[in-house]
Amino acid sequence: MVPIDLLKKIRFLADLPDDIIEKISPLAQKETFHPDSILIRQNQEQHLVYMLMAGKICLNARSDAGRILTLDEITPGRSFGMSALLGNAVATFSAVCTEPCEVITLSGDQMRQLFASDYTAGYAVMGRVAQLFKDRMNKHTWQFLHSLSIHPAINPV
């Protein structure tokens, strides 16, 4: 169980109504991880949503040819692994602690059980996930178009 005031420090949860955060609170776990702990491995199924309270986490992606790109550095208040809420979701990146980290985790299975028994909570959380994924997907589209527009084959120097 994680107190509501701590959960409200997480950007993803901050705007949810209090009564829904109260239902999430008993399902949340606080954990600490050493530097170099691997929280998520790319291409493996995601079971947990991670919300960082303290420390720093790198999100890395390995390309098909084996090259590793660091895509993001997660700082406190941010979350990742939302796909665990959908079930049967495979991670597209690895998450590695670069410092000692304090993390709140939510089990995807337990959250889906909550959603199945409380559709109001399910709608509130899943509506937020859909909106976040949509915003992110649109950004991907613009990034993809930008990468095309500067691609040497399309825009030769």
Positions in the binding site for another protein (CB under 8 A): 11-12, 59, 61, 63-65, 67, 69, 71-74, 78-80, 82-83, 85-86, 89, 92-93, 115, 119-120, 122-123, 126-127, 129-134, 136-141, 143-152, 154
In the bound state with another protein, the residue whose beta carbon lies nearer, of 26 and 139, is 139
Q: How far is the CB of 3 from another protein (least distance, A)?
A: 21
Burial class (CB in 10 A: 0-12, 13-18, 19+), 6: middle
Angle at 58 between CA 143 and CA 14, to 5 degrees: 80
Give the three-state DSSP class for 101.
Answer: strand
Sort residue 57 into left (φ over 0), alpha (ψ -120 to 50) or beta.
beta
In the bound state with another protein, the residue whose beta carbon lies nearer, of 25 and 60, is 60
Asked if 91 and 40 touch (Cβ cutoff 8 Å), the reply is yes
Amino acid 71 reads: L
Q: How far is the CB of 49 from another protein (least distance, A)?
A: 10
What is d(CA 21, CA 36) in angstroms, rounded to the nearest whole number? 31
Q: How far is the CB of 64 from another protein (least distance, A)?
A: 7
Q: Residue 130: which residues within 8 A CB-CB, separation 6 or more?
A: none
Q: How far is the CB of 150 from another protein (least distance, A)?
A: 6
Q: How far is the CB of 121 from another protein (least distance, A)?
A: 9
In the bound state with another protein, the residue whose beta carbon lies nearer, of 12 and 33, is 12
